[in-house]
Amino acid sequence: MPDLISFGKKVQVCGIMASGRVDKVKDNCFHKSSRINSTWGGNLSDMVRSTRMLEIIHEDNILENVNTQGVYLLENLRALEDEFKGTVQNARGMGLLCSFDLPTPELRDAFKNELYRQHMILLGCGHKTVRFRTPLTVTKEHIDLGLKRIKNALHLIVK
């Protein structure tokens, strides 16, 4: 079990959870001011809401969907590497946290802009990477729709 876990926007609030081991560190983040600065407010309504969100994630077995759809997404991104050799590079991921690179920042930006015209947003990351930020409840059908738009955009920008 980890000593400290941070979580964020996927549960509609940012926060941290800690095991009792954190108390073995004299100046840990709960005892020394400014050791953790974030959007986590720590008020009662945030704690109740985040607790309920974590319960729902567990009750609805959402992590199984994350793992299943993440494997499916990554397999398809690797297939894009084969289809668009030299353009789609370094497909990688764990769960639904997936990304891939394009050869240059300019090509990456042109790709993102074309996707936007197709009503899809992928986020840039670093100099030449795009990353996915899918909902935890994403379906295979939604992934397929996104992959179709990604292929269309790649065909339009790769000459």
Residue 120, pLDDT > 80, answer: yes
Helix (H) or strand (E) holding 16: strand 15-18
Residue 135, pLDDT > 80, answer: yes
122's CB contacts (< 8 A; 6+ apart) are 111, 112, 115, 130, 131, 132, 150
Share of the chain above pLDDT 90, in %: 62
| CATH 3.90.1150.10-classified regions of the chain | 62-157
Domain 62-157 is in which class? Answer: alpha beta
Residue 22, pLDDT > 60, answer: yes
The neighbour count for residue 99, using CB atoms within 10 Å, is: 19
Model confidence at 24, in pLDDT bands (50, 70, 90)? confident
Instruction: Tell me if 133 sits within 8 A of 123, measured CB to CB.
Output: yes
CB crowding 32-66: b at 16 or more within 10 Å, else e: eeeeeeeebeeeeebeeebeebeeebeeeebeebb
Of 24-28, 52-56, 136-140, minimum mean pLDDT range: 24-28
When pLDDT is averaged across residues 102-127 and rounded to a whole number, the result is 94
Q: Who wins on pLDDT, 118 or 49?
A: 118
Q: State the Cα–Cα distance between residues 115 and 123, nearest whole angstrom.
A: 11
Residue 147, pLDDT > 90, answer: yes
Q: Who wins on pLDDT, 47 or 79?
A: 79
Average per-residue pLDDT in the chain? 87
